[in-house]
Each structure stands twice: as structure tokens, then as C-alpha cells.
Amino acid sequence: MAGKLDLDPRVVRKARRLAARAGQPVVDLARSHTTVSVERAVLRLAGVRGADPDGIPWVNRLVDAVVADVGLEHGVSLPVFDALRDYGDITVLAQKAAAGAVRFRVPSSSHAARRTAVKFARVGLARVDRRRAERDRLIKRWGDPSQRPWIYLIVATGDIHEDIPQAQAAARAGADVIAVIRSTGQSLLDYVPEGATREGFAGTYATQENFRLMRAALDETSKELGRYVRLTNYASGLCMPEMAVMAGLERLDMMLNDSMYGILFRDINPIRTFVDQRFSRQVHARAGIIINTGEDNYLTTADPVEAAHTVTVSQLLNEFFAHEAGLADPQLGIGHAFEINPDVPESFRLELAHALLARELFPDAPLKWMPPTKHMTGDVFRGNLLDGFFNLAGAMTGQSILLVGMMTEAVVTPWLSDRDIALQNVRYVLGAAGNLHEDFVPARGGFIQRRAHQVLGEAIDLLDRIADDTLLNAIADGTFGIMRRPADRGKGLDGVAAHAGDYFNPVTELLEAS
């Protein structure tokens, strides 16, 4: 028996074995398919830049031209790097292809094209490696936050040039991680907007230039404060692999990257999502980026008490998929949320049980705990108190990344003054009880232990059923977040292809070799 919950290690091992059984067919599927976004990500690493006058990236135009001539199933690398010998510059090739001036083929002798593709992929991955090494140097020079959990705060005005001063002000007020929320609907765009953007909807567009601008601004503030301030954005939606590549190139530190969020909450095709998330996580592993998974979202649609075990199942699956893609435990910002209705009897004890279960199942992972949203009513006094209880739960259970709750959640876009009050709440709780997890031990055989054992047992039962009936069927049946998402439907399915016998992806080969 081990830990504060007296979890049986044999039961925990069984849960992980079942998660691997349930997840392996999805990994096999991902390894045998590609998507237009995976192929675009390869070409972004190879150096394709810019967009046409309509704002459509040249990389989209290039992939579309290849697909029109030879299909997607071979990958785009062989046709593109075979044609490149006549043009020299890969962005020029994309522009010519968009104008209809290039015809692509799958070369019968592919050795030269393979060598060139690998050469370009190595150059792109070397840039990612340099940014990772740069992060390590800056952390060593400026230092890391002295306390855990890291305080994670959101900015999102729609205008990157407004986000920057708000992010810097938040860091000066105590935030350790700045997350720039993405513009509503961007996850359903099958291209990445180009350049700095000044108009977004409930968020700011995720673009490579916006990544660069915010990272540079936070570096200035990190130097000023004497601690490295981390930056978060989103590797999700139809362009998940490309977002991962851009994050690696611009030294982002965390990315929201959940295995099922896009399927359940954006109706993106399951196969498209699983193929894209595997490639994106391989890139995150290489870049040293911490992923944040999205289990908190399930609890906004499903009942947080009745469906608690589905969160645990998703956490175990996210861990399996992450490890298979090369991510280490310190990169797993596995998600959870404080979403039980506060009017439910013993709601806080239930929250503690669920939080401590996650902490003990994933002891080396920097868990990301999400504040209450579903039951915020507009009563700012009640909301601030509820956020205080959330912060206390994080302190009592040793959470690693604590998202700052807002008393104006779901009412208005927070003002700087709202953030100040929310940060005061966090600072008070962590200052008064930040190390309470050292002393908090639930009663043996008491309510919290029993509840944690119940949730883990229900999770094992569900994983057993999923392993027998497949994860894709479980998703189609509405097992997670009560959303029904069949594998033959959803957005982006037309951008998926099974590998042909001669499929070639130089980036995947290099990442898996390492």
C-alpha cells in the first residue's frame, strides 16, 4: 500500500495496462495515417513561409497542389523535394505551385528526394533544438519561480499589441505562466493566419508572429523580474501539428494539447485528431514543451461527480499517448477541474478526493488544476470565495500549475483590476497554506480515501470495457463529456489518408530515431 490514499500499486498497474490496451489500436491507426496538417507541419519545418494576398499560407497552397496531382497517401515530401531541384527555394516552389506552374510526381527513384528532405528536416529540427537550449540557458540565468504551484494566468484581448502589456503586468503581479487564449473558432480553420493580428473574438489569433512577439516581450519582463516567465498557447484543432512546430520554433513553454478535446468539443474527426496529436506530441517532446491536457472540459458538460471516473480514464489515456510519443513525465500537465456544484453536500471533500487521486496517480507530472467556471453566477463575492476554496484544494493536494480563477468568469472579459483581486486571493492562500500538502493526510478508511478508491475502481471498469470494444466506439457512444462523435464523421476527415507503401515523412523518421 502506498501514498496518502493507500492505493494498491497492483490496482494502479492494472489501470495503466488497460489504458495501454485501449490506446494501442489508436496509436497503430495514427502510425499508419497522415493528414494535410502533418504534411504542412513538415514543410513549415523545411522553411516554407508567408501567405498569398488572400492570407492563405503558401504551405497550404503547396500541399493542396501536391494532393491534387498525386494524392496525400504518399506524403508530400517526395513530390516536393523531387520538384525542388528545379527551383532551389522551397517558398518559391510553393508560390509557383499555387500559380499552377508546377506538376508534381512521386519519383520512381526517390533516393535524391529523400536525402534532400532529410537535410531540410534536420535544419528545421536544429532550430527547435536551439530554442530548447536557449530556454535552459535563460532559466539558469534568470531563475525559476521559487514556489509551486506555478501561477497560470490568461490574457486575451484579440489584439496582440494589447495582450503584451497585459501579460507583462500580470507577470509583474506574480503570474509565472501566461496563456494567450486563442480566438473563438480558430480551431476550425484549416490554415494558420499569417502575421501579427489585432482583431480576434474572445481571444487572439495564434500565429507564429504573435508567438514571437509575446515571447520577446516576456523575455524582457523575465530579465526585469529575475525569473523566467513561461508562455502558453494552443496545439489543438485542425492545425495541431503546425501549432506544435511554430511553438517549438518560437520557444513557447507549454501548449494545450489534449488527445480528445477537438473530437468532443469541436466535432473534429477522431482519426484526424489522433493522427495530428501524435505528431504534435513528438514535436513537443523534442522541443521540451509541457503539454496541458483538457479533462476539465468534460466536467462542463458531464456531471463532475457521476462522471469523475471518465476524467481518470482520460488522464491515463493521455499519459499513455504522451509516453508513446516521447514525452517525459515532467512534460505532462495532466488536467482536472474544480467543477462540482458547491451546493452538493461534501463538495469540497469530493474535490479533495479527486485532486489527490490525480496527484498520486501521476506523482512526477506537473498537474494543471482548473478553477471553477460552471457554477460561477455573476455574484463576484461568492465567486471569489469559491476561487479561494479552489486555491486551497490545490495547496492541500500539491498541485503544480494553478490557473487563476476570475470572480467575473463567464460574465465579462476580466479587467486588469479583476486579475489583481484574483491574484491577491492566490497569494493569500499560497502564502498562508502553500505547504499544507505536507500536513494534510486524509483519515485512513475515511470519506476521501473511499471516494478516491471508488473513482479509480470505476475507471478500471470503464477501461476494461473500452479495451474490449475500442476507444473509437467509446467516443462514438458519448462516453466522454456525453458527446457522441463517430469515427466516420466530423470536420477534417477529407484531410486524412492511409499511408501508401512508399509513404515518407522525414520529420517523423528523425523524431522516432531520436
**Catalytic one of 82, 296, 387, 418:** 296
The three-state secondary structure class of 259 is coil
Q: Supply the pTM of this predicted model.
A: 0.95
Q: One-letter amino acid identity for 224?
A: E
**Catalytic one of 152, 191, 205, 261:** 261
Number of H helices, E strands in the chain: 19, 11
Residue found under cell 523524431: 511
R_g of the chain computed on alpha carbons: 23
503 catalytic? Reply is no
Interatomic CA distance for residues 441 and 136, integer angstroms: 36
Interatomic CA distance for residues 301 and 132, integer angstroms: 37
Scanning 47-89, the segments in alpha helix (DSSP H) are 58-70, 77-83
**Catalytic one of 368, 387, 418, 503:** 368
The closest alpha carbon to 207, from 193, 217, 225, 221, belongs to: 193
Q: What is the pLDDT along the chain (514 residues), one digit of tens a residue?
A: 469 999 999 999 999 999 999 999 999 999 999 999 999 999 999 999 999 999 999 999 999 999 999 999 999 999 999 999 988 899 999 999 999 999 999 998 889 999 999 999 999 999 999 999 999 999 999 999 878 899 999 998 999 999 999 999 999 999 999 999 999 999 999 999 999 999 998 899 999 999 999 999 999 999 999 999 999 999 999 999 999 999 999 999 999 998 888 998 999 999 999 999 999 999 999 999 999 998 888 888 889 999 999 999 999 999 999 999 999 999 999 999 999 999 999 999 999 999 999 999 999 999 998 999 889 988 999 999 999 999 999 999 999 999 999 988 777 767 778 888 999 999 999 999 999 999 999 999 999 999 999 999 999 999 999 999 999 999 999 888 778 999 999 999 999 999 999 999 999 999 999 8
Question: What number of other Cβ atoms are within 10 A of residue 327's Cβ?
Answer: 24
298 catalytic? Reply is no
Residue extents of the structural domains in the chain: 33-121
234 catalytic? Reply is no
Interatomic CA distance for residues 465 and 480, integer angstroms: 14
Question: What is residue 1's predicted lDDT score, i.e. its pLDDT?
Answer: 40
Interatomic CA distance for residues 493 and 487, integer angstroms: 9
Question: What is residue 418's predicted lDDT score, i.e. its pLDDT?
Answer: 86
The closest alpha carbon to 401, from 429, 371, 372, belongs to: 371
User: Grid coordinates in use for 64?
Assistant: 493542396
What are the phi and psi torsion angles at 239 (to 5°)? -115, 30
Scanning 288-373, the segments in alpha helix (DSSP H) are 298-301, 308-324, 347-361
